[in-house]
Amino acid sequence: MTRHLLRDDDLTPAEQAEILDLALELKADRWKEKPLAGPQTVAVIFDKSSTRTRVSFAVGIADLGGSPLIISTANSQLGGKETPSDTARVLERQVAAIVWRTYAQAGLEEMAKDTRVPVVNALSDDFHPCQLLADLLTIREHKGELKGLTLAFFGDGLSNMAHSYALAGVTAGMHVRIASPEDYAPRADVVADADRRAAETGGSLTLYTDPNEAAAGADIIVTDTWVSMGKEEEKTARLRDLGSYKVTQETMALAQEDAVFIHCLPADRGYEVDADVIDGPQSVVWDEAENRLHAQKALLVWLLRQQ
């Protein structure tokens, strides 16, 4: 049966762990798996800007023996004249998988419905599950077992990253804390889904408005831009509303002594995080960025095995 990764909880806890194990194997032996030998093509479509996602999918697909076809929606029919469903039915006759960075989650769902090839969410307004696989891999490398660790996210709790930390974190059995103003708290349906998953794994999701309470004793400190792609018009309000959620040395001092700092990047130093944190000794953001490659290769290998 064709499997897709549209949101983090599309993977069961066991499947998530299997993909992370495979990612570690592929990191140790980069050219071990060639499921795309031929080469078969993978379509990688962008409605929004990208550096890491574009490079890591292009490199990863080539590492797996395949050929990446990078498509910008600005010069394709998708998004203007053609529906996601019709686009998918054209692509599936020629490509082994479809990777798509877009705005509405509904477009990804439409593309995946009845499509014979795996569809991967490379970031939507609601979730960024590929980033979370890389983040969990990075945390595993630096902290060992994920289960039982406390991860605290600061800032825009309604963002794709906060939603993905909620779902993927509890899937891994972690205790996820999201600190945001009330108006930026995660969506209620995502919280309910995370709570359901947490009940299976022993993890938890807790929402905070006080950033200091969220930071206390955390193993992983996380933030993301206050102005996600598509929210540029709200920039002034967001800088005002989210200002007290900046990650600083004071935040790090409240966390565990050996806490790590992660950020999906790109970062706005001086806004969501101070330079001395992201460029400091507890930051593992460059490992995290590299791990996009290994995690996404593992994901593609795993999805192609389910075909």
Query: Which positions lie near ligand NVA, rule CB under 6 A?
Result: 123, 159-161, 224-225, 228-229, 264
Give yes or no for residue 263 binding ligand CP (CB under 6 A).
no
Helix (H) or strand (E) run with residue 291 in it: helix 285-305
Q: Which is nearer to ligand CP, 16 or 131 (CB)?
A: 131
CB 42 within 8 A of CB 98: yes
Alpha carbon distance 205, 232 (integer Å)? 28
Among the listed residues 18, 107, 104, the one whose alpha carbon sits nearest the alpha carbon of residue 305? 18
Residue type, 43: A
52 is catalytic: no
Which stretch in 45-53, 70-78, 191-199, 213-221 sits in contact with ligand CP by CB under 6 A?
A: 45-53
What whole-number distance in Å separates Cα of residue 144 and Cα of residue 147? Answer: 9
Given 58, 239, 254, 265, the residue binding ligand CP (CB under 6 A)? 265
Give me the catalytic one of 16, 40, 131, 256: 131
In Å, how far from its chain's centre is CA 231? 18
Write down the least CB distance from residue 163 to ligand CP, Å. 14
- Evaluate whether 92 touches 116 at the Cβ level (below 8 Å): yes
Closest CB to ligand CP among residues 50, 201: 50
Nearer CB in complex with ligand NVA: 229/254: 229
Backbone angles phi, psi at 45, to 5 degrees: -110, 135
Degrees to nearest 5, angle at CA 265 with 260 and 267? 95
Please say if 282 is a catalytic residue.
no
- Kindly indicate which of the ranges 44-52, 68-76, 146-154, 276-284 contains the residues binding ligand CP, using the contact rule CB under 6 A: 44-52
273 binds, among ligand CP, ligand NVA, none (CB under 5 to 8 A by kind): none
Q: How many whole angstroms separate alpha carbon 206 and alpha carbon 195?
A: 9
DSSP state of 40: P
**Catalytic residue of the set 4, 7, 128, 140:** 128
Q: What does the alpha-carbon distance between residue 55 and residue 89 come to, in Å, rounded to a whole number?
A: 26
Strands (E), the chain: 41-46, 67-72, 97-101, 119-121, 150-154, 175-179, 204-208, 220-223, 260-263
161 contact, one of ligand CP, ligand NVA, none, CB 5-8 Å limit per kind: ligand NVA
Please give the residue whose beta carbon sits closest to ligand NVA in the complex. Answer: 228
101 in active site:
yes
Separation CA 199–CA 171 (nearest Å): 10
CB of 197 to ligand NVA, least distance (A): 21
**Which tokens go with 134?**
């890389």
- Could you confirm whether 224 is annotated as catalytic? yes
From 4, 7, 52, 197, residue interacting with ligand CP (rule: CB under 6 A): 52
Determine the Cα–Cα distance for residues 264 and 23; give it in Å rounded to an integer: 18
Residue 63 catalytic?
Answer: no
Q: Which residue of the set 264, 274, 282, 294 is catalytic? A: 264
Instruction: Using the minimum distance from each CB to ligand CP, give the nearer residue, 89 or 231.
Output: 231
Distance of closest approach, residue 159 Cβ to ligand NVA, in angstroms = 5
Residue with tokens 């929004």: 48
Q: Residue 51 binds what, of ligand CP, ligand NVA, none (CB under 5 to 8 Å, by partner type)?
A: ligand CP
Closest approach of Cβ 168 to ligand NVA, in Å? 14
Q: Is 246 a binder of ligand CP (CB under 6 A)?
A: no
What residues are annotated to the active site?
101, 128, 131, 224, 264, 292
Binding site for ligand CP (CB under 6 A): 50-53, 123, 131, 264-265
